[in-house]
Amino acid sequence: MTRLLEPLIVDPRDPVAILPVLEEAIAGQRTLLPVPAEDPTRATLLRDSQRAGEPISPDIALVVATSGSTGTPKGAQLTPANLVSSADATHRRLGGEGQWLLAMPAHHIAGLQVLVRSLIAGVDPLALDLRLGFHTADFAAAAAELHATGDRCYTSLTPMQLAKLMDTLRGIEALRLFDAVLVGGAALNPQLARAARDMQITVVTTYGSSETAGGCVYGGHPLPGARVRVDRGRIHLGGPMIAQGYRNDPDHVAFAEEGWFATSDAGTIEDGSLRVTGRLDAIIDSGGLKLQPEVLEQAMLAVPGVTGACVVGIPDLRLGQAIVAAYTGSATPGEVIEGLDHLPRWQLPKDLRRVAALPLTGPGKVDRRGVEKLF
């Protein structure tokens, strides 16, 4: 019998409504392509690029798009075993199954895995209505409802969501109700991480992608069954959660080695812990000197009053690329430069701009192309 790839429309008003068909996909009965109901342009792009309605291997449960800011998104092909192994490994690392609060869009892998983990645990997750944004009062009310069950409680957030909650006492108290708050999708501000620890909020940083069925490295260490290695500076991830290639690019070199995914990220393993240093394709070559922009971003985030930062390279006749940066927060540009005084002078931004908000692509991911356009 021919299996077709079916679009799965995810309504932000009620993302939990997709649970029955998601369960059928995990049972091997359907193959689904999650698309956002509130973004028709993105939904059409996903349908066309992933060939919705056309035949697909019955071994695939979900085709989950990557969140690139430009070009055609790739579609990671995830089997039931990929999804279930990831969910089981997460619960083993966190100390057991529990109640989940969905606070992210459910057409992205981080949100989908909250639903999958809930299915595996046999519980109905709570979900926030994100149509009008992410609000502390809604999160706090849902956290209290979950906590009242007496079960273990978990949620998954972006660094920006965590920062917003930690701006208020109500948000802090809500975060304390969770046995673990998974934070991923972007680098966590070290100041925010320290503040969370001081406030007794159990933050667990995660690293992974659609290609790995979500986060597969927690707190720098692989989940049970997952494997990590660094080959010539590039991070490779392996294990039972690795996708079966891309729907629209089956010969992509990232999946050249069976059971492994070659990421586009640079990193090191120090004392058994993975440290992600940045994107290999984001390196800035300024006057022959190469800068990993995430290194400068982390230095900026360590400056008091800086809440977000993005460093990019723009064309420059003399240098090839000039280092520029945009940031959010209360610090003045002068205070930021003063806080970077320990860095080599060539790494200092040639243009530094404070903005009200950094452009985003996907949940909590800064759009580097969008930042380039600011300059």
Which band of pLDDT confidence, cut at 50, 70 and 90, is reported for residue 2?
Answer: confident
In this structure, which topology does domain 5-275 adopt according to CATH?
Rossmann fold (3.40.50)
Does residue 327 have a pLDDT over 90?
A: yes
Tell me: the pLDDT tens digits for 210-234? 999 999 999 999 999 999 999 999 9
Would you state the pLDDT for residue 317?
86
Residue 170 vs residue 1, higher pLDDT: 170
Which band of pLDDT confidence, cut at 50, 70 and 90, is reported for residue 362?
Answer: low
Does residue 3 have a pLDDT over 60?
A: yes
Would you state the pLDDT for residue 296?
95
> Helix, strand or coil for residue 102?
strand
Q: Which helix or strand (DSSP H or E) is residue 227 part of?
A: strand 227-231
DSSP state for residue 167 in the 8-state scheme:
T
DSSP state for residue 360 in the 8-state scheme:
B
- Whole-structure pTM value: 0.87
Would you state the pLDDT for residue 279?
86
Would you state the pLDDT for residue 332?
97
Give domain limits for the chain: 5-275, 283-374
Would you state the pLDDT for residue 69?
46
The CATH number of domain 283-374 is 3.30.300.30: yes
Question: For all residues of the chain together, what is the average pLDDT?
Answer: 94
Q: Which of 50-64, 274-288, 308-322 has the highest mean pLDDT?
A: 50-64
Tell me: the pLDDT tens digits for 9-30? 999 999 999 999 999 999 999 9
Does residue 289 have a pLDDT over 80?
A: yes
Amino acid at site 115: L
Does residue 180 have a pLDDT over 90?
A: yes
Would you state the pLDDT for residue 71?
66
Residue 284 vs residue 361, higher pLDDT: 284
- Between CA 307 and CA 312 the distance in angstroms is 17
Asked if 109 and 86 touch (Cβ cutoff 8 Å), the reply is: no
Facing residues of 274 across strands?
269
How would you write 48-64 as a 3-class SS string? Answer: HHCCCCCECCCCCCEEE
- Residues with Cβ within 8 Å of residue 292, at least 6 apart in sequence: 266, 277, 278, 282, 283
Does residue 101 have a pLDDT over 60?
A: yes
Which band of pLDDT confidence, cut at 50, 70 and 90, is reported for residue 84?
Answer: very high
Least confident of 68-77, 279-288, 351-360: 68-77
Tell me: the pLDDT tens digits for 294-306? 999 999 999 999 9
Which band of pLDDT confidence, cut at 50, 70 and 90, is reported for residue 133?
Answer: confident
DSSP 282-346: G-EEETTEEE-HHHHHHHHHTSTTEEEEEEEEEEETTTEEEEEEEEEES--HHHHHHHTTTS-GG
Tell me: the pLDDT tens digits for 35-75? 999 999 999 999 999 999 999 999 999 999 986 545 688 99
